[in-house]
C-alpha cells in the first residue's frame, strides 16, 4: 500500500479526520502529509488536525483531539451517555488539578479541576453522536459528580438524569457506591438510591 492510499485509509478510519501525529506514527513525512492535505482539500480545524469536506464537525471530538487530558464530565457526560435529553449549553470537562486549562476556558468550556487521585476514577470512553471516540467518565462517576455539584445543575436536568440512570438496565450500583465512598458522599448516594429504587 502506498503512502496516499494509507492516508486515505487513515482518514476513513478517523471518520473524516486526520491527525499529523497519526500520519507520523505510520512513517509518513510532514511533506507528504502537507501535499496530501492540499491535494485532497482537507481543512485544518486545529493544530495538527485536518478534516474532509464530508466529515461532520464534531465539537466534542475536536476538543478532545486538541486536549487529550480532558475528560467529558457532568452535563456533557450525561448527554454522551444518553442520561440527558438535550445537548448542554456549555461543554464541561474535568482535568487534573495541576493541568493548565486557561486555553480551554477561552473556548467557552467549563473546566473542573480535580485531585489527581480522583482523576482516573470511572475513566471510560464513548462514541459521540458522530461516531468519534472520546474520554468520558462512566455513568456511575457522572452520577456522583452531579450529586456533588447539585447546586450548580438545573433541577430538571438532575432529576431526569437520576431517573434515567436508576431505571436503566446497565446501572452498576456496586461501582456507584464504591465511587461515592472514594468521594466521601456514600451516605448521600445511598439515600438517593434507596428512595429511587
Q: How far is CA 76 from CA 59, 156, 170, in A?
A: 12, 15, 19
Q: Of 44, 37, 104, which is closest to residue 68 (Cα–Cα)? A: 104
Query: Measuring CA to CA, how many Å separate 126 from each of 29, 115, 131, 190?
Result: 31, 23, 9, 27
**Cell numbers linked to 131:** 461516531
In this model, does residue 107 exceed pLDDT 80? yes
The string over 162-184, giving b where at least 16 C-beta atoms fall within 10 Å of a residue's C-beta and e elsewhere, is bebbbeeeebeeebbbebbeebe
β-pair type (123-127, 133-137): antiparallel
Cα separation, 130 vs 34, in Å, equals 26
What are the cell numbers at 110?
467549563
Encode pLDDT of 111-165 as tens digits.
Answer: 999 999 999 999 999 999 999 999 999 999 999 999 999 999 999 999 999 999 9
Domain ranges of the chain: 3-51, 59-196
Angle between helices 186-196 and 155-167 (to 10 degrees): 70
pLDDT level of residue 197 (50, 70, 90 thresholds): low
Amino acid at each position: 500500500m502506498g503512502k496516499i492510499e494509507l492516508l486515505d485509509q487513515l482518514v476513513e478510519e478517523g471518520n473524516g479526520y486526520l491527525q499529523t501525529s497519526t500520519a507520523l506514527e505510520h512513517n509518513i513525512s510532514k511533506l507528504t502529509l502537507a501535499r496530501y492535505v492540499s491535494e485532497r482539500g482537507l481543512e485544518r480545524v486545529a493544530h495538527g488536525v485536518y478534516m474532509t469536506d464530508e466529515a461532520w464537525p464534531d465539537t466534542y471530538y475536536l476538543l478532545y483531539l486538541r486536549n487529550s487530558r480532558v475528560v467529558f464530565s457532568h452535563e456533557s457526560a450525561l448527554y454522551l451517555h444518553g442520561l440527558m435529553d438535550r445537548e448542554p449549553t456549555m461543554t464541561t470537562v474535568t482535568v487534573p488539578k495541576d493541568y493548565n486549562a486557561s486555553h480551554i476556558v477561552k473556548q467557552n468550556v467549563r473546566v473542573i479541576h480535580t485531585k489527581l487521585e480522583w482523576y482516573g476514577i470511572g475513566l471510560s470512553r464513548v462514541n459521540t453522536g458522530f461516531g468519534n471516540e472520546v474520554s468520558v467518565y462512566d455513568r456511575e462517576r457522572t452520577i456522583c459528580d452531579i450529586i456533588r455539584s447539585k447546586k450548580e445543575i438545573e433541577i430538571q436536568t438532575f432529576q431526569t438524569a437520576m431517573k434515567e440512570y436508576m431505571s436503566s438496565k446497565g446501572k452498576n450500583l456496586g461501582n456507584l457506591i464504591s465511587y461515592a465512598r472514594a468521594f466521601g458522599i456514600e451516605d448521600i448516594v445511598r439515600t438517593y438510591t434507596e428512595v429511587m429504587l
